[in-house]
Amino acid sequence: MRTIKKIFSDRKLILFTIVLFFQSIVFGQTPKDQAILDAFPNKERVVYKTIDGIELDMLIFYPDAAKIKSTNPWMLHVHGGGWAGGDKYKVFRKSFLGTLKSLVANGVVCATIEYRRTRGGSTAYEAVVDAKDAARFLVKNSEKYKLDKAHYGVWGGSAGGHLSLLTALGSDSDFKGLPSLSEIALDFKCVVSYFPATSLVNPNLVPGSLFEKQQSYDRILGDSLQNKPKLARLLSPTEQLKCDSPPILLLHGEKDKVLPIINSTYMLEVAKEKKAAVELLTIYNAGHSFNGANISPTIEELNAYATDFILAHLKKE
């Protein structure tokens, strides 16, 4: 027979487990996330926008005191999660963590944001507006957060890869946000997009992808492609790409079955036609999120490649 003390101890353990479970659902943060978070001593949480009574925040990671300057280059991370899920802690996943650490170690401030997900009436359009507002907020408050007004970029993976492309490529006038930030004109110096969706209007990208299901369009557009063709074009990075768009690095697994690599190879073709600066790093043996055995280049190597690309484009002339 178990003692009362043992029963009480078991109940405490169960209660603690339940608390952690609901914390991961409500806040998106897991014990593993917290452990990684603790490894970044210089950070702060900032609310950049409140809309419909909901606070949208970001985590800002700063270099150590020896490397921080009065103005520093910075990167904005837009998380993935199928447009309807995910959270700002996605930056701690293997696809991005090595680059995050390297950027901060090299004097780059990094911010990872929350945005309106595609539920409760929101679409991917609102997500882009929020990401742009996050960037506008940082530019407007650059002195407070020790940021360079001219040298910054954006990155993200999957849905976040799609949204990061639109954040940089989409016209500010097409994605108007808070009136208090409307005077800020954005000028990203680079984009790094991992395994993204690149077009909602090219039928050749549909076979073998998540877009074979109508619910994917419902989630992103709030309706069918047939009923929202104008919005679909607006939310297609290839349609927004121009010859003077910022340099873009695409990273994509050759065996991706969620958003197949044809998304990135197609964007590469469009870039050649429009004379835009886009390059693709193919990750062999890799599925979505670079899952797979013996992928090449390795996670460490692709993290380093992305870091070098960003640092090269955030350097001051």
**Integer Cα distance of 314 and 51 in angstroms:** 31
Between 214 and 199, the more confident residue is 199
Half-sphere exposure in the Cβ direction for 254 (13 Å, CA): 10
55 has which bridge partners?
50
DSSP code string of 89-108: GGGGSHHHHHHHHHHHHTT-
47 vs 137: CA distance, rounded Å: 10
* Residue 218 near residue 124, CB atoms below 8 Å: no
Identify the burial level of 142 via C-beta atoms within 10 angstroms of its C-beta, where 0-12 means exposed, 13-18 middle and 19 or more buried: middle
Tokens of 254: 């050759």
At 115-173, the pLDDT tens digits run 999 987 899 999 999 999 999 999 999 999 999 999 999 999 999 999 999 999 999 99
3-state secondary structure at position 144: coil
Topology of the domain comprising 40-314 = Rossmann fold (3.40.50)
CA distance 253 to 259: 9
Whole-number pLDDT of residue 119 = 82
Q: Is the pLDDT of residue 5 over 50?
A: no
Rounded distance, CA 282 to CA 257, Å? 14
Which three-class secondary structure state does DSSP give residue 130?
helix
DSSP string, 223-235: S-TTT-HHHHHHT
In 3-state terms, the chain is what percent helix, strand and coil (to 5)? 45, 20, 40
pLDDT tens digits for range 8-50: 445 544 443 333 344 443 345 678 889 899 989 999 999 999 9
Q: What pLDDT shows up at residue 17?
A: 38
Overall average pLDDT of the 225-245 stretch: 97
Q: Helix and strand tally (H, E) in the chain? A: 10, 8
Distance CA 149, CA 251 (A): 27
Q: Would you say 184 and 140 are in contact if contact means Cβ atoms under 8 Å apart? A: yes
The predicted pLDDT at position 13 comes to 41
For residue 317, the model assigns a pLDDT of 62
Contact between 299 and 290 under an 8 Å Cβ cutoff? The reply is yes
SS3 assignment, position 207: coil
Closest CA to 194 of 291, 110, 264: 264
- What are the pLDDT digits (tens) for 214-227? 899 999 999 999 99
Which residue is listed with tokens 């990155």?
155
Q: Report residue 315's pLDDT band, with 50, 70 and 90 as the boundaries.
A: confident
Beta-ladder partners of 212: none
> Is the Cα torsion angle 261, 111, 299, 249 positive or negative in sign?
positive
Residues in the chain, how many? 317
Cα atoms in the 13 Å half-sphere on the side-chain side of 298: 4
